[in-house]
Amino acid sequence: MAAQTILIAEDDPDIRDGVRILLAGEGYHILEAENGTRALEIFNPEVDLVILDIMMPGMDGMTATAKLREQSNVPVI
């Protein structure tokens, strides 16, 4: 069975790295974005979960979630 994919959208690289290290260590495939705009660009149907920071420069997490809902019902934390 293929690893589940998690998209992490977080503007702080230290936090993003920490979350990636923990989740990758558990066998998840990780995609990373520094803001909501980039998260929407790299989102694809293979993503099983999205972890979004609320306060990011450019497009914030709330706006990204609204736009994501136009194309998917993927779980968002």
Strand partners, 47: 5
Instruction: Give tens-digit pLDDT for 40-75.
Output: 999 999 999 999 999 999 999 999 999 999 999 999
Show the beta-strand stretches assigned E in the chain.
5-9, 29-33, 47-52
pLDDT at 54: 95
pLDDT at 1: 57
Asked whether 3 and 25 are in contact (CB, 8 A), the reply is no
pTM: 0.94
